[in-house]
Amino acid sequence: MATTKKIVIAVVVIFCVLFVIADRAFKRNLRNADFGPLAELFKGRLAEAVTIPALSAQEVQADARLFDTYSKAFRLAEFVLGSGQGDRVPESASELHGLDPALRVDAWGHAFCVAKIADHVAVFSAGPNAVGFLTCDELIGRDKDISSVVPGKLHRYPSGTLMLVLSRDEGDRGEVSATRPQASR
């Protein structure tokens, strides 16, 4: 028993000595640390929170077109999910009958492309910077991975492609859901 007490006391003393050494080293390093870049980053984020950018007319119009594209893509995805077409979804929204023709194109006049991926519907737009004509195969093929997207949000890819993903809740009342898609296997 006495040996156990001596071992416990030795361990506690060693722990305390190591703690004091580590504490002094940390304080010394903390005093010498340069927090300037961190402070600038923090102040920059605070400035974003308390300022409103003055947008040009073109920037406001571009944002409005993005919202129009989002709204149309969402309604198009709801239509496809509610149409009961199963896996037979035409690639181009221009081939969807029974849908208002104005909802078949994005805000820049490009026809939406539609893909059924697993239990999800993905709606693609060539986006505002589309140069020339992209086929739906080209448009969908380059940005088809939906495993990391946030459903119900309009995703903007470096290529300029815009994509929205929606799915139908399983066993629900047929309501459309923005549930997170699982990676295709």
pLDDT in tens, 3-15: 777 887 888 888 7
CA distances from 185 to 8, 72, 118, 145 (A): 54, 30, 9, 11
Cβ atoms of 139 and 124 closer than 8 Å: yes
State the pTM of this model.
Answer: 0.61
Q: What is the DSSP letter of 92?
A: B
- Listed by start position, the domains of the chain span 2-50, 57-177
CA distance 125 to 68: 12
pLDDT at 147 over 50: yes
* Angle made by CA atoms 91, 164, 161, in degrees to the nearest 5: 75
Cβ atoms of 139 and 111 closer than 8 Å: no
The enclosing H or E element of 140 equals helix 136-142
- The pair of three-digit structure tokens given for residue 17, joined into one six-digit string: 């000595």
CA distance 142 to 124: 11
CA distance 126 to 109: 10
* Angle made by CA atoms 127, 70, 120, in degrees to the nearest 5: 95
pLDDT in tens, 95-121: 888 888 899 899 988 889 888 877 788
pLDDT in tens, 40-73: 777 777 777 777 777 788 888 888 889 999 999 9
Got the DSSP string for 157-172? -TTS-EEEEEEEPTTS
CA distance 181 to 137: 21
